[in-house]
Each structure stands twice: as structure tokens, then as C-alpha cells.
Structure 1
Amino acid sequence: MSSSLYSNNNPGMHSEVSSKGDSNFNAERDLDALLTHLSPDKGNEDVVISLVTSRTVAQRQAIVTEYEDMNGESIVAKLRRDRRFGFPRLMIALFMSPREYDAQTVRSALHTSGTDEKTLLEIFLTRTNREIQTLKEIYFDKYNHELESDLGRKTTGYFRAVITKLALPSRMQNAVPSTERAKQDAEDLSKALEKKSKKSVFIHLFCYSSYFHLLDVFDAYEIQNGKSIEKVIEKEFKGHLQDSLKAIASITRSPATYFAQRLYESMIGEGHNMDMLVRIVVTRCEVDMPEIKDVFLKTYGVTLKQFIEDETTSTYRQLLLALID
């Protein structure tokens, strides 16, 4: 596992950025070009795609600010009204601030037909404590609801115990790695399996420990017991709790593997999950997309580019491919 995936002890952060942006960036000039090529009479899809995918998140947010200063409204509102091309949700995702997009995603996951637990886990497991705190503030501003309250009302059982802890947020992020502490925590997990408290012990450790520490605990557990933590989770837990612990273990082991699997799942079977596909491409294209593409090829025997070309419609394909390039 590459330690570069765990900058600041959080898999959502990364030391490499795949999108270099425009070194001669000018928000006013870009906004003028964008509005020109979004217009009905002079619209040019290729120019729009080239512009938005060659800018960083920060540069796109500067365009958003420029538009708001000039027009007194969000460019996202304009994009929702003026659906000039066939990829409105992808354009909207690109121009929303990252945490606003997260807040909208969490809201949708809580209010879909049956709570979307996997999406909630994806968000709260791959954001820093500070990012989660900002997400919560934006959520309250947009929906006039405390996020913790909505999570409590919309989730149940042990999944509620997991997701409310992840949303506090209180995962350790600057703890000094300790081999001895990892060995002790691995022993505690083994002992907990013999007690009724095993669920609470696993939840506490998995939700509060840094990812570096969890990885050390997993290694220590396997040395002590001769089996992986994943096999233990499969045997000892069921339902949403098993899914939650497996997701945490997967992200601890390799965020790129986790997201490669999520991307694959978004495009297989009938009725592709375009929301998932768009979200992962948009949120990871400047984080760890090169690693995700490598894992995708090794795991599924086809490049992510080819898979997107085969499994998506032309309206989204060109923009998605430009983002992962």
C-alpha cells in the first residue's frame, strides 16, 4: 500500500493531483467563454468540455464566484435552468463546491426509497474531520436540519451506530503510530469476539482510529490469529453492520481498490447508477484517479476508459473521459 494515499491519515486526501489546471487561469475570461458556448446560438459542446475539465476545483469555484458577483445568483442555478447539453447533472456537480455537493449527496441518500447506506459510508469514510464539519454546516444552511438528527431518524440498528459516529466527526488523524498499541487493540478484538460486546468494540475501534492505526491493527490481528480481519467480519457479523465494517476495512487497505469497485458497480447490470458514476469521477479525478485506473485494469481486465466508452451514453461519455484522463 502506498503511503501517499494516506496524506493526513485520511484516504480522501492525496499528495498528487491529476488535474494541473490552467497556469494562465483568468476567471473572468473563462466565464465569458463558458457563457458564450453554453448559449443556444453559439453553443459548442467540445469547448465547454475542454474548459471545465482542464480547470481545477479551485479554478472552477473562482468562476462560480465571478458569475455570482456579476449576476447575483449561483451559476449552478443557471445550469439547472439552461440545460443546453445532455450532461446537466455532471456540469452541476463540477460547479458545486465539494462540500455542498457532499451535502446534497447525503440528503439524497437519506431521502431515497430506502436509505442508501453505501453512499453515506462512501462520503463519511473518505472525508477529513474538517470536511465533514463543513459538510454539516452547509447541510444545516441548505435544509434547516441538523445532519445528526436526520441520520438518527433515517437510519436504524447498528448502521445508525456506525454512521452517527463517523459523522461526529472524531476519527483520530494525527496520532503517532504505535506497534504496541496496535497489538493490544488486535488482542482486544480477539477477546471481544467471545463476548456480547463484540459489536460495540469493533464499531468503536473502526470508527475512531486513524487509518494508519487500523492498518497496523489488521496486520497484528492476522499475525496473532492466522486469519484476515475481512474473514472475521464475514463470519462474525451480518447485514448492514457487516457491510459497514467491510467498507471501512476496504478503504483502510486501499482507497483506490474501493473506488474501482464502486465505479464498476455503477456501470454493470440494467439501469446504470449515473449518480454514483458522476459523483466518484468528479470527487476523485483530482485525488487518486491514476491509482483507481490502475486497480480497475488489474481487477477487471479492461481499462476504465474502455469500460466507460462501452457502458455510458454519448451525452456523458466525452465529459467523463476527459475528467479521468
Structure 2
Amino acid sequence: MAAVGNRGTVTEAAGFNADEDAQALRNAMKGAGTDEAAIIKVLAHRTNAQRQRIKEAYKQMVGKDLSEELQSELSGNFQKVVLGLLMLLPIYDAYELNTAMKGMGTEEACLIDILSSRTNAEIKTINSFYKKEYGKDVEDDVCGDTSGMFQRVLVSLLTAGRDESNTVDEALVAQDAKEIYEAGEARWGTDEVKFLTVLCVRNRAHLLRVFEEYQKISGRDIEDSIKREMSGYLGEVFFAIVKCMRNKPAFFAERLYKSMKGLGTTDTVLIRIMVSRAEIDMLDIKAEFLKMYGKTLYSFIKGDTSGDYQRILLDLCGGEQ
């Protein structure tokens, strides 16, 4: 798996001055029209921590909330990216989860993307901010918007109880691989609870060994079996967990590719990944994208978006290479 830590395309701006940036943003919104290029120049090139300081400086300078000001000045997907960049990452995740579940219908892809890929600490922080922002538990909303085994997997992930050690018990590896095989490929029907117990609880090092043993026992990759044994969102969430355990940047690269290929663009997915991963592992995601699809992420974004929306995404992408 690719290296973790400080692998973002967005890094701390040298010579950072929150007051100067706040003034630049104020100037970009003064008078008739809005200078979108000036907004991109600041917000797409500052870390999340630096953006929080800019928000404080703006409020001191103008007596107004920067996010509210920008919301009234901007529109469409460009607005969504800008407002996302101004949120603390766990607040952004909480916001995305809430947006995915409020009103009619549910964006299950959002629930899967976030809950399958975040660490225990990240999920605990999301839970805390969600309660603070929306006055209820994420779990309550998930239970109100989903059902069946898919719901049970999401609830398990929300407990943030995954073993995050590097301990591998070879006897337990063999048992887990055997039990998953017997719960799926070796029987009529599928015992999904066995998959949940292993995939939502065990640590990454252990699971990678389970996947190897499973392949030996069944003659198939675990992903192939999930596709054969489960359908709909349940299959998708188990598939996402396996992908994230194998290679998280590759998981996000695939999600980005699918959001842009074919007719139309799934902007909700594209925005969510670009905003949430720009400071974490976007360099690794770009490398995986090129390896998997033979084209740069930059070129895909350029071909699928336009205007200020395109410009801010390309800056978050960190250039062609």
C-alpha cells in the first residue's frame, strides 16, 4: 500500500498571513461581480488549519462569517467546493452524511465512501460533530434511512471498534477464511453476518492475510465472491471495505474514475473526494489513477468539468503530474 501521511497536494503555504488572505477574499467579493480566481488562489492553496485562521481573521475584520458571505456570492458546484474547503474535515464528513440522508431518498454511495474509509478516530470525531451540528446521532439517521444487513454493516462501522493493531493470529486467519468461505461460496444462500464480523472488526494486516487464505481455499479473490454472493448496497459496502483494506488510494481513484466516465459526471462524488483527500493522500490517489487507467486524474477532470469549478478542482489535484 502507498505511503501514508503528508501525501496531499495541498500543503502549508509559506509566509502565510491570515489577515492578508482575509483581505484578499474581501476584495474578491467587494463591488459588482466576484473575482473567483482570487478566491481559488487563496482557498485551494491553504491547508485546512490555515483556512480556519482565515475565517477567524475575516470575522474580526468584517464582522461577518466568511462561509455565509461566499455562499451568497457563489453558486453551483464551485460554491460546493469552496464551502467544503472552509469546513473542518470531520465537520465536512458529518455534513456530507447528513446531506446524503436528509429529505427524500438517500445517497448510499456517500455513506459507503465515508464509513468504509475512515479510521476509528475519524469516525468518533464525525459522530461527535454530527451530534453537535444536527442534534442527533448519525446512527439514528442511518437506521432511519437504511435497512437490513446493509444497515447493520453501517452501524457496525459507526461503532469505530475495528482492531487497529498490526497483530496477525495465523490460527484466527485460517478460521476467518474458512468461515467466510463456508458462509458464502460453500453453501446455498449467504450468511452475511460472518462477513460483517470479519470485515468490520479485524485489523488491516490480519484481513490481508485472510484474503490470501480465502483465495487459496476458494480459488477466487474475496471481491469476486462478494460480487457473486451479494447484490445491491450490501455488496457495495463489503466491496468498499475490502478495497480500502487492500489499497485506500486505489479505492478513491476508482471512485473518481467512475464519477467521470461515461455520460455526465457524478459531481457529489467528485467534489467529496477532491475536498476530503486533497490534504491527505491525493498524491497517492493520482499515482494509482494513472496506473489503473493510463491517464492522469488532471486530464479526466479537465475533460469532464468547466469554468471556475474546473479551475479549483485542477488546483486541488495539484497539476498534471
Q: Fold-level match, TM-score > 0.5?
A: yes
Q: What count of residue pairs does the alignment treat as equivalent?
A: 316
Aligned pairs (5 A) from 1:284-303: 284-303=277-296
Matched, 1:263 2:256: yes
What secondary structure sits across from 1:22 in the alignment? coil
1:130 maps to amino acid:
A
Change (3 A) 1:149 1:317: same
Match for residue 162 of structure 1?
153
Q: Identity of paired residues, percent?
A: 33
Change (3 A) 1:74 1:166: farther
CA drift of 1:148 comes to: 1.1
Matched, 1:57 2:48: yes
Q: Which of these residues, 213, 226, 230, is aligned with residue 233 of structure 1? A: 226
CA drift of 1:41 comes to: 5.0
CA drift of 1:315 comes to: 2.5
Match for residue 275 of structure 1?
268
CA contact (8 A) 2:190 2:229 kept: no
* 1:137-165: CA deviation from partner (whole Å, max 9, x where unpaired): 22122222221111111101111011111
Match for residue 87 of structure 1?
78
* Separation in 1, partners of 2:131, 2:63: 22
CA contact (8 A) 2:28 2:35 kept: yes
CA drift of 1:175 comes to: 4.6
Segments ≥4 residues shifted beyond 6 Å? none
Unaligned 5+ segments in structure 1 are: 6-13
* Separation in 2, partners of 1:225, 1:90: 44
CA contact (8 A) 1:87 1:316 kept: yes
Matched, 1:150 2:141: yes
CA contact (8 A) 2:173 2:213 kept: yes
Unaligned 5+ segments in structure 2 are: none
- Farther-moved stretch of structure 1 (179-188 vs 212-221): 179-188
Matched, 1:307 2:307: no
Match for residue 21 of structure 2?
30
* Separation in 2, partners of 1:205, 1:291: 27
Match for residue 179 of structure 2?
188
What secondary structure sits across from 2:200 in the alignment? helix
Scaled by the length of structure 1, what TM-score is found?
Answer: 0.89
What secondary structure sits across from 1:23 in the alignment? coil
- Farther-moved stretch of structure 1 (97-106 vs 194-203): 194-203
* Separation in 2, partners of 1:47, 1:81: 16
Cα RMSD for the two superposed structures = 2.3
Matched, 1:107 2:130: no
Matched, 1:48 2:39: yes
CA drift of 1:38 comes to: 2.8
- Farther-moved stretch of structure 1 (172-181 vs 100-109): 172-181
